[in-house]
Amino acid sequence: MNGCVAVVTRVMILIHMSREAQETTWKRTGLLFLGHLLNDGYGSFFAPLLPLLIERLDLSLAMAGMLGTARILVNSLAQPGLGLLVDRVHRRSW
């Protein structure tokens, strides 16, 4: 229910905003969408490539598993740190 209220509130805010402010809002939303798509897309792209990497680089299954684990760990550990950095350095409201 809270999600629906948030969407309705957002739509009402957009209706009462100036045309320029609406365009800026949509550009920012588009950039957030693109960043999220690239971040999640990379993770989905890696798994199907793993058999090819094993064959081409002559990796053992253990090494291939370590590559997958390293990708997940770096992604999981970097996101909170980068979020904190962006929150502190870049104060512009989204």
Host H or E run for residue 80 = helix 61-89
Positions in the chain short of pLDDT 70: 1-8, 10-17, 19, 21-22, 90-94
| Four-residue CA torsion sign, 39, 43, 7, 9 | negative
pLDDT in the model for residue 25: 75
pLDDT in the model for residue 42: 74
Task: Answer whether 0.75 is exceeded by the pTM.
Answer: no
